[in-house]
């Protein structure tokens, strides 16, 4: 069974731009969660989608948004990028809430 | 506040020596507990999990963890480390009230020859 895939793996943007990251969950998994990982703040929860509905949300500004499609694939969008948005963005999928499987992440660099 | 604490930021261990990584949690009820490993530039891989039952949990790659309710701890151990065990290890709790994952700050393990 294929694992969680994330595209692109690396991304370089400039301040003020917007970016869209994609995540394809493991087949059959309906829950997709997004996390931001930075050296200073560690791993922080962004949001979780289940069956196309946002079920949980972390403490991030409205510039961070997401959605989930009917095939469970999810996208995350960050608008008006700031330098502090540079991070590894991880996506995780799960069949239930108890065990999450992580993708390799997208490394976003904001210049 | 509900939290997960990993007291050791960095541990260096010789190849073949034993390893123990500490984790403490602060929750009203016993959360679901996990240990994940992250190699540089990679995502997180689940090593093992504890939900209930036997307090000694076996995982992949020869790792085990012991849940101790009295100490609110869930320490990870490996009897003999290999150079490939060099990575960052995260203790994680699933909060039962909102099912969000709460991560420890991570412990970086360096393995010397």
Please state whether beta strands B64-68 and B73-78 pair in parallel, antiparallel, or not at all (unpaired): antiparallel
The count of CB pairs under 8 A between chains A and B is 44
Which among A68-77, A91-100, B98-107 has the top mean pLDDT? A68-77
Task: Report the pLDDT value the prediction gives residue B96, as an integer from 0 to 100.
Answer: 74
Contact at CB, A42 and B103, closer than 8 angstroms: yes
Which of B1, B44, B51 best probes binding to A when mutated, by most A CB atoms within 10 angstroms? B44
Contact at CB, B101 and A90, closer than 8 angstroms: no
Sign of CA dihedral B68, B72, B74, B77: negative
Task: Report the pLDDT value the prediction gives residue B1, as an integer from 0 to 100.
Answer: 63
Which chain A residues have a beta carbon less than 8 Å from that of B32? 98
Task: Report the pLDDT value the prediction gives residue B98, as an integer from 0 to 100.
Answer: 75
Per-residue pLDDT reduced to its tens digit, A59-86: 999 999 999 999 999 999 999 999 999 9
A58 contact partners, CB below 8 Å, separation of at least 6? A44, A45, A46, A47, B100
Least confident of A48-52, A65-69, B100-104: B100-104
Per-residue pLDDT reduced to its tens digit, B2-28: 789 999 999 999 999 999 999 999 877
- Judged against a pLDDT cut of 90, whether residue B89 lies above it is answered with yes
Task: Report the pLDDT value the prediction gives residue A98, as an integer from 0 to 100.
Answer: 79
Per-residue pLDDT reduced to its tens digit, B45-62: 999 999 888 899 999 999
């Amino acid at each position: 069974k294929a694992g969680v895939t994330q595209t692109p793996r690396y991304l370089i943007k400039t301040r003020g731009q917007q970016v869209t990251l994609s995540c394809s969950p493991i087949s059959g998994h309906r829950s997709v969660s997004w996390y931001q990982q930075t050296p200073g703040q560690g791993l922080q929860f962004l949001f979780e989608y289940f069956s196309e509905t946002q079920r949980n949300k972390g403490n991030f500004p409205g510039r961070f948004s997401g959605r989930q499609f009917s095939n469970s694939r999810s996208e995350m969008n960050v608008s008006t990028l700031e330098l502090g948005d540079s991070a590894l963005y991880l996506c995780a999928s799960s069949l239930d809430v108890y065990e999450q499987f992580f993708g390799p992440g997208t490394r976003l660099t904001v210049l | 506040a509900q939290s997960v604490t990993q007291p050791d930021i960095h541990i260096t261990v010789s190849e073949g020596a034993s390893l123990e990584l500490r984790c403490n949690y602060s929750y009203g009820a016993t959360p679901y507990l996990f240990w994940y490993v992250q190699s540089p530039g990679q995502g997180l891989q689940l090593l093992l999990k504890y939900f209930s039952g036997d307090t000694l949990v076996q995982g992949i790659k020869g790792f085990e963890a012991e849940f101790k309710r009295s100490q609110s701890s869930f320490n990870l151990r490996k009897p003999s480390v290999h150079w490939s065990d060099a990575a960052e290890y995260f203790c994680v709790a699933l909060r039962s009230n909102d099912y969000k994952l709460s991560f420890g700050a991570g412990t970086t393990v360096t393995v010397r020859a």
